[in-house]
């Protein structure tokens, strides 16, 4: 029996800071934005965190397909910025969307790919017939140390996917994961900002894992890049997904609808899932979408997705990704620092 | 001073604006009442989840806040009349130049308060203008 996406929802905070404003403060090159292909990034409000973002995304997912939350049997929330070190994000989200309490829940962490790992966990339970619907989320208010390269991209946002067997907006035809122990990026317990291996995050990290997962899935599915109408690759910046797509044989047109990083930055666990949502916002029934996430540490989950008939019915019942690009409010670096709690008083 | 059990008891009303409704006199209550003051022992009370859409009845803008809120100044506190009738106090997230009496608002899920660096994070409902927000 086919399994897949019954509904989806996203949330991106309203505030933005431009990359050129960050570059101005730290005396970096003026063309930093062009070089990263990230022009601005989302910034959470004082009272937003990974939980509030997840709740808003999950509420949008429920609204989009008019789902009774009592049907949800599992909640998995992927994030690297869970507000509590101990105390699950998933229970707060569950209560806020009005679930029946007969469900399992857990928080996941795998740098930027915990959201796709959450989808895989739900796919397993749904495929086995153990639950009716699973809610998988990727949500983050990611951190970059002041002046670090990450600061130009570390953004806030999230996506929620309801995984089930009936009324599919998109069938997940198959997935393939590639995982190794690669310390390209990490944050130790109690530390406010992550550390990373600089250029080491590129070839041995992102490119090796995304390429291996993508090639593995294409081989498993017996497909080629041309079989897909769209493709979404994890977006730590605006360069990497373009470069990896090209090297794997995917075209610029295939990745264009899902390439949201130039306007919102890297939303970490939300990143590839918001890219997928932006693609579902425009895809037609029968279209095929290739998705590959990446999480430092390191791993990549690749999915082959076929858009279903239900997409046309549900698409307009909740905000689309690009709706969150409108009416944004720009912050200067000082106010941004206050929003992000970078000033220790 | 809030406490963990007290917050926990308020989770349904804080997260989802769950109040009550008297089927007999059709009056809505927020925060929830267990007894309808109109109907007394004849009341038929049921839980009611408010959509949270409403109108600003009056407001004030806080410029001098307590320590827990001083980083958020200026912020707006308003009395909001929900569509079903009850009025409640809530924060309206927008610039002080934008808020006005009669403005339509809708609910959002936000952090209400944090109990210092080590304590509980209290989540709940705030409001944003209906116009111009996703």
Q: What is the mean pLDDT of residues A102-111?
A: 97
For chain B, give the mean pLDDT. 95
B42 and B94 assigned to the same domain: no
The whole-angstrom separation of Cα A183 and Cα A296 is 7
Cα angle A99-A101-A104, degrees, rounded to a multiple of 5: 95
Give start-end residues of each CATH 3.40.47.10 domain in chain A.
4-169+320-339, 172-312
Mean predicted confidence (pLDDT) in B56-60: 98
| Both tokens assigned to A25 | 């403060």
Is the domain of B6 the same as that of B29? no
Rg (CA), chain B: 16
Residue A26: its pLDDT value, please?
95
Counting residues of chain A whose pLDDT is more than 70, the rounded percentage is: 100
- Chain A residue with CA closest to B119: the answer is A84
Chain A contact set for B71 (CB, 8 A): 46, 338
Integer Cα distance of A280 and A282 in angstroms:
5
Residues B131 and B114 in one domain: yes
Q: How far is B41 from chain A (nearest CA, A)?
A: 30
**What positions of A carry a catalytic annotation?**
80, 112, 234
Please tell me the predicted confidence (pLDDT) of residue B2: 60
- Kindly state the average pLDDT of the residues B81-108: 97
Element (H, E) at A78: strand A72-78
Nearest to A52 among B71, B72, B111 (CB): B111
pLDDT tens for each residue of A19-50: 999 999 999 988 899 999 999 999 999 999 99
Q: Once rounded to an integer, what is the mean pLDDT over residues A118-139?
A: 98
| Alpha-carbon span A102 to A72, nearest angstrom | 9
Q: What is the pLDDT of residue B71?
A: 85
CATH, domain range A4-169+320-339: 3.40.47.10
- Are A161 and A123 within 8 A, CB to CB? no
Opening angle at CA B76, ends B75 and B79, nearest 5: 155
Taking the C-alpha atoms of residue A174 and residue A204, their distance in angstroms, rounded to an integer, is 25
Q: What is the mean pLDDT of residues A264-276?
A: 98
Interfacial A residues in 20-49 facing B (CB < 8 Å)? 45-49
Confidence class for position B68, pLDDT limits 50, 70, 90: confident
**Domain coverage including residue B94:** 1-11+52-134
- Dihedral sign for Cα B54, B59, B63, B66, please: negative
Give the pLDDT mean for B51-75: 94
Instruction: Identify whether residues B88 and B46 lie together within a single domain.
Output: no
Do B23 and B76 lie in one domain? The reply is no
Residue A72: pLDDT over 80: yes
User: Is the CB of residue A86 less than 8 Å away from at least one CB of chain B?
Assistant: no
Write out the two tokens for A296: 């430092």
Quick one: B41 and B73 in the same domain? no
Name the minimum distance, in Å, from the CA of A56 to any CA of chain B: 7
Token pair for A12: 């991106």
Are B123 and A96 within 8 A, CB to CB?
yes
- Model confidence at A243, in pLDDT bands (50, 70, 90)? very high
* Statement to judge: residues B28 and B6 lie in one domain: no
How far apart are alpha carbons A183 and A173 in whole angstroms?
Answer: 31
Q: Please tell me the distance from the alpha carbon of residue A332 to that of residue A337, in angstroms, as a whole number.
A: 9
> Average per-residue pLDDT in chain A?
96
The residue among A257, A266, A270, A232 whose CA lies nearest residue A11 is A270
A199 is in an annotated binding site: yes
Q: To the nearest whole percent, how much of chain B has pLDDT over 70?
A: 99
How many angstroms away from the CA of B72 is the closest CA of chain A? 7
What is the least distance, in Å, from the CA of B69 to any CA of chain A?
A: 10
Span A66-82, average pLDDT = 97
**DSSP code string of A110-157:** BTBTHHHHHHHHHHHHHHTTS-SEEEEEEEEE----TTSGGGGTB-EE
Q: What is the pLDDT of residues A184-235, one digit of tens each?
A: 999 999 999 999 998 889 999 999 999 999 999 999 999 999 999 999 999 9
Identify whether residues B75 and B118 lie together within a single domain: yes
DSSP B46-109: EEEE----EEEEEEEEESS--GGGGGG-SEEEEEEEETTS-EEEEEE-S-TTT--TT-EEEEEE
Task: Please give the pLDDT value at position B3.
Answer: 83
| Cα–Cα distance, A156 to A265 (Å, whole number) | 8
CB-CB neighbors (< 8 A) of A327 in chain B: 132-134
pLDDT at B1 over 50: no
Question: In this structure, are B30 and B88 located in the same domain?
Answer: no
Report the C-alpha gap between B114 and A30 in whole angstroms: 38
Residues B62 and B27 in one domain: no
Phi, psi of B79 (to 5 degrees): -95, 125
Candidates A48, A319, A324; nearest CB to B110: A48
Query: What sign has the CA pseudo-torsion A114, A117, A122, A125?
Result: negative
CATH topology of domain A172-312: Peroxisomal Thiolase; Chain A, domain 1 (3.40.47)
Strand partners, B80: B56, B88
Q: Which residues on neighbouring strands pair with residue A107, listed in sequence order?
A: A77
| Helices A271-280 + A114-127 axis angle, to 10 | 60
Looking at the fold, whether B128 and B90 belong to one and the same domain comes out as: yes
ipTM greater than 0.90: yes
Q: Which of residues 287-326 of A touch B (CB under 8 A)?
A: 319, 323-324, 326
Whether the bond into B86 is cis, omega within 30 of 0:
no
Do B120 and B83 have their domain in common? Answer: yes
Phi, psi (degrees; rounded to nearest 5) at A144? -135, 130
Chain B residue numbers with beta carbons less than 8 Å from the beta carbon of A98 are: 16, 49
Task: List the CATH number of the domain containing B82.
Answer: 2.40.50.840
Give the span between the Cα atoms of A253 and B16, in whole angstroms.
42
Domain count, chain B: 2
């Amino acid at each position: 029996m086919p399994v897949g996406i019954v509904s989806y929802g996203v949330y991106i905070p309203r505030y933005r800071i431009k990359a050129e404003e960050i570059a101005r403060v730290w005396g970096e090159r003026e063309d930093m934005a062009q070089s990263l292909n990230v022009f601005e990034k989302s910034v959470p409000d004082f009272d937003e965190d990974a939980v509030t973002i997840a709740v808003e995304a999950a509420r949008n997912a429920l609204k989009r397909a008019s789902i009774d939350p009592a049907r949800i049997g599992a909640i998995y929330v992927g994030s690297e910025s869970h507000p509590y070190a101990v105390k699950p994000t998933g229970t707060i989200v569950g209560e806020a969307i009005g679930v029946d309490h007969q469900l399992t829940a857990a928080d996941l962490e795998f740098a930027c790919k915990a959201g796709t790992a959450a989808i895989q966990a739900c796919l397993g339970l749904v495929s086995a017939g153990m639950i009716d619907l699973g809610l998988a989320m990727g949500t983050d208010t990611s951190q970059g140390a002041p002046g670090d390269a990450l600061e130009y991209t570390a953004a806030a946002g999230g996506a929620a996917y309801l995984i089930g067997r009936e009324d599919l907006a998109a069938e997940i035809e198959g997935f393939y994961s590639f995982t190794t122990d690669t310390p390209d990026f990490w944050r130790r317990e109690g530390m406010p900002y992550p550390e990373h291996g600089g250029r080491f995050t590129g070839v041995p990290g992102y490119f090796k894992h995304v390429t291996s997962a993508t090639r593995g899935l294409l081989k498993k599915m017996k497909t080629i890049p041309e079989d897909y109408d769209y493709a979404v690759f994890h977006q730590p910046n605006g360069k990497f997904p373009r470069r990896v797509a090209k090297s794997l044989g995917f075209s610029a047109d295939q990745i264009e609808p899902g390439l949201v990083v130039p306007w919102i930055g890297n939303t970490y666990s939300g990143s590839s899932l918001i890219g997928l949502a932006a693609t579902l916002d425009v895809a037609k029934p029968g279209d095929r979408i290739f998705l590959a996430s990446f999480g430092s540490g390191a791993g990549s989950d690749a999915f082959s997705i076929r858009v279903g008939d239900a997409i046309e019915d549900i698409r307009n019942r909740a905000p689309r990704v690009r709706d969150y690009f409108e009416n944004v409010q720009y912050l200067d670096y000082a106010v941004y620092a206050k929003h992000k709690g970078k000033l220790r008083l | 001073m809030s406490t963990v059990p007290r917050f926990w008891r308020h989770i349904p009303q804080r997260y989802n604006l769950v109040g009550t409704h008297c089927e007999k006199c059709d009056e809505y209550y927020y925060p929830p009442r267990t007894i309808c003051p109109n109907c007394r022992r004849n009341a038929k009370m049921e839980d009611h989840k408010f959509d949270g859409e409403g109108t600003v009845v009056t407001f004030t803008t806080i410029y001098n806040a307590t320590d827990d809120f001083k980083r958020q100044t200026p912020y707006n506190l308003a009395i909001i009349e929900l569509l079903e009738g009850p009025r409640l106090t809530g924060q309206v997230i927008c610039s002080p130049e934008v808020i006005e009496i009669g403005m339509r608002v809708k609910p959002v899920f936000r952090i209400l308060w944090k109990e210092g660096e080590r304590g509980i994070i209290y989540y709940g409902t705030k409001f944003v203008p209906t116009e111009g927000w996703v």
